[in-house]
Chain A
Amino acid sequence: MDTFAFAVVNGLLYGMLLFMLASGLTLIFSLMGVLNFAHASFFMLGAYFAYQLSSIGNFWMGLVLAPLLVGLLGATVERYGLRVVHRHGHVAELLFTFGLAYLIEELVRLVWGRQPVPYRIPEVLDFPLFSIGGIDYSAYRAFMFAIAVLMFLGLLALLKRTRVGLMVQAALSHPDVLWALGHNVPRLFMLVFGGGVALAGLAGVIGGNYLVTEPGMAHQMGTILFVIVVFGGLGSLLGAFLASILIGILQTLMVAFDGTLTDLVVSLGAAAPQATGPFREIWTITPANLAPVLPYLLLVVLLIVRPRGLLGTRET
């Protein structure tokens, strides 16, 4: 039971981390119609920037500066890249972000090397906050959780309470009309793109040392991220939130549990089955083996049953 509770708490945390990326991605998509393939690359840059800054100064410097740098970079990419490519249509935009993802990955390899970098949890937060059934829960995880919640509340307040938020909501339905009413919509797009990838960068800052900071992290995160936004429904923030939490918890739960089909059969009182024939592998697969596949399985099933995703308004 303790393992279960622990897995749920960890899954929730992982889900929140996923949502920090998914929220920006889905916001950028619903506003600009661009599916940003490089979104997870900005997550990775956040982690590397934070590593670099924490090696010069400290973790807190990275926490503040790294997302800002990533956001600035994102705004520049939008202003001088995407905006130019936009004239040639969505396929060109898609290819642009696709190329950008590879470019960033290669640059990271060039600058920081192929091996993981030693980006560590700050010492002040490296202690067990409480323990359940002998398993420690680190203070850093609680800190990550707090940052994610704060970010979520901040984003909500920004969208619902500020003028920029009003403009974003208006631009979702009629960007041309908003533009013709005298609002600088291209600048709004630049801000949203920069802001969206800055959130991904922030996720990288607090997630990079919790996970591993290495050049493959963007690719790994990127695939699961697309599952989430498609699953939640492209363009739906709430859908992205639900999908993030669901997939976060499911994956963590599956990794947490041992046991195979053989164990199950044995525990039911039957004799251990003979593992022979072409399907013998089935008896020795653990849930952890299946964990990486599960999100895609969910995705495929959902797309067949409900092509809009959980809460999406348009067909994906």
Chain B
Amino acid sequence: MSAPILSLRGLHAFYGLSHVLHGVDLDVGEGEIVALLGRNGVGRSTLCKAVMAIVERQGSIRVRGRETIGLEPHRVARLGLGYVPEERAVFPGLTVEQNLLLGRHGAASARSWQLEEVYELFPSLRRRSDTHAEVLSGGEQQMLSICRALMSGPELMIVDEPTEGLAPLIVEQVGDLLAEIARRGVAILLVEQKLTIAMRIAHRVYVMGHGRTVFEGSPDELRTDEAIRKAWLEV
């Protein structure tokens, strides 16, 4: 593994009054898809929010070696992070195209994507470019949310529960889209509850329990490690 794009050390995070993360260590390397798995309530989404600086956090979060603990969310994003929040969070009242345009922030570099490129990657968004985002289906909203984050040309995407509530066929499509994005050199931190697409596309897997990482290894290692799966994943 080359020098990590994202490196968490001893990360603590707080959601309101509750202390959710208790010292997480995690790395994401260049162009790598890393899956973060765990049951509901173990702090997966909080970890994403901590990386994006929208919850209170302590410890160390380095992006390309640069400490981001003291930075505001927009500063963190401008270091090259794309955020795909839980429950998609597309902007209602705005069209698909307007949602995409808001993915490109003021400091977007030469790496930033053009509308055309995004539409080529996911053509059904082009057909619906003038549609209000809130009337799209769940799957389309998810694609929009992913493509919106892509617009700034991130080096790393934080993707929080992209398959939640989607039909199996759409889950497959989301997996394909993420794999395609990774093929173009974008690293992905994929946070999931279910194993389906994570086991298929991830290069490395972390399992979380009680606000800490309890397993790190390849998808194959997780497949064979029945004890970990029983203790931390299976319901």
Contact of A170 with B91 in the complex, beta carbons under 8 Å? yes
| Closest CB in chain B relative to A101 CB, distance in Å | 30
CB of A9 closer than 8 Å to a CB of B: no
One of A13-21, A182-190, A227-235 contacting the partner: A182-190
CB of B135 closer than 8 Å to a CB of A: no
| Closest CB in chain A relative to B160 CB, distance in Å | 11
| Closest CB in chain A relative to B234 CB, distance in Å | 32
Q: Quick one: given A181-B149, A182-B105, are A169 and B83 in contact (CB under 8 Å)?
A: no
One of B61-69, B92-100, B194-202 contacting the partner: B92-100
Q: When A and B form their complex, what is the total count of cross-chain residue pairs whose Cβ atoms lie within 8 Å?
A: 71
Contact of A181 with B72 in the complex, beta carbons under 8 Å? no
Chain B window 119-145, contacts with chain A (Cβ cutoff 8 Å), 1 for yes, 0 for no: 000000000000000000000000000
Contact of B107 with A182 in the complex, beta carbons under 8 Å? yes
Chain B, range 67-81, C-beta contacts under 8 Å to A: 72-74, 76-78
Contact of B77 with A182 in the complex, beta carbons under 8 Å? yes
CB of A179 closer than 8 Å to a CB of B: yes
Interface SS of A by simple majority: helix
**CB-CB < 8 A to A173: which residues of B?**
89, 91-93
Contact of A181 with B92 in the complex, beta carbons under 8 Å? no
| Closest CB in chain B relative to A181 CB, distance in Å | 6
Contact partner, B91, options A163, A169, A182, Cβ 8 Å: A169
Residue of A nearest to B78 (CB): A182
| Closest CB in chain B relative to A316 CB, distance in Å | 21
Contact of A181 with B93 in the complex, beta carbons under 8 Å? no
Q: Quick one: given A182-B106, A182-B107, are A177 and B92 in contact (CB under 8 Å)?
A: no
Contact partner, A183, options B74, B82, B85, Cβ 8 Å: B74
**CA–CA, A172 to B94, complex, Å?**
11
CB of B148 closer than 8 Å to a CB of A: yes
Contact of B94 with A182 in the complex, beta carbons under 8 Å? no
Contact of A184 with B106 in the complex, beta carbons under 8 Å? yes
Interface SS of B by simple majority: loop
Contact partner, B93, options A172, A176, A179, A186, Cβ 8 Å: A172
Q: Quick one: given A170-B102, A186-B72, are A180 and B93 in contact (CB under 8 Å)?
A: no
**CB-CB < 8 A to A108: which residues of B?**
none
CB of B31 closer than 8 Å to a CB of A: no
**CB-CB < 8 A to B77: which residues of A?**
180-182
Q: Quick one: given A166-B94, A170-B94, A174-B91, are A180 and B53 in contact (CB under 8 Å)?
A: yes
**CA–CA, A131 to B119, complex, Å?**
60
**CA–CA, A173 to B52, complex, Å?**
18
**CB-CB < 8 A to A163: which residues of B?**
101
Contact of B106 with A183 in the complex, beta carbons under 8 Å? yes
Chain B, range 32-75, C-beta contacts under 8 Å to A: 49, 52-54, 72-74
CB of B170 closer than 8 Å to a CB of A: no
| Closest CB in chain A relative to B47 CB, distance in Å | 13
CB of B162 closer than 8 Å to a CB of A: no
| Closest CB in chain B relative to A130 CB, distance in Å | 42
CB of A178 closer than 8 Å to a CB of B: yes
**CB-CB < 8 A to A169: which residues of B?**
91, 93-94
**CB-CB < 8 A to A176: which residues of B?**
49, 54, 73, 85
Q: Quick one: given A182-B78, A182-B107, A182-B108, are A177 and B85 in contact (CB under 8 Å)?
A: yes
**CA–CA, A174 to B53, complex, Å?**
15
| Closest CB in chain B relative to A166 CB, distance in Å | 6
CB of B152 closer than 8 Å to a CB of A: yes
**CB-CB < 8 A to B73: which residues of A?**
176, 179-180, 185
Among A163, A167, A178, A180: residue with most chain B CB under 10 A: A180
Contact of A182 with B54 in the complex, beta carbons under 8 Å? no
**CB-CB < 8 A to A183: which residues of B?**
74, 102, 105-106
Chain A, range 227-260, C-beta contacts under 8 Å to B: none
CB of B211 closer than 8 Å to a CB of A: no
Chain A window 170-209, contacts with chain B (Cβ cutoff 8 Å), 1 for yes, 0 for no: 1011101111111111100000000000000000000000
Contact of B94 with A181 in the complex, beta carbons under 8 Å? no
**CA–CA, A178 to B94, complex, Å?**
13
CB of B209 closer than 8 Å to a CB of A: no
| Closest CB in chain A relative to B161 CB, distance in Å | 14
Residue of B nearest to A176 (CB): B54
| Closest CB in chain B relative to A157 CB, distance in Å | 15
Among A173, A181, A184: residue with most chain B CB under 10 A: A181
Can you give 20 contacting A-B residue pairs, CB < 8 Å?
A: A166-B98, A169-B91, A169-B94, A172-B93, A173-B89, A173-B92, A173-B93, A176-B73, A176-B85, A179-B72, A180-B73, A180-B76, A180-B77, A180-B83, A181-B83, A181-B102, A181-B148, A181-B149, A181-B152, A182-B77
Q: What are the 6 closest A-B residue pairs judged by CB atoms, nearest first?
A: A182-B105, A182-B77, A180-B52, A170-B91, A179-B73, A180-B83
Extra contacts, 19 of them, besides A181-B83, A184-B106 (Cβ < 8 A), are A167-B102, A169-B94, A170-B102, A173-B91, A173-B92, A173-B93, A174-B85, A176-B85, A177-B85, A179-B54, A179-B73, A180-B73, A181-B77, A181-B102, A181-B149, A182-B105, A182-B106, A183-B102, A185-B74
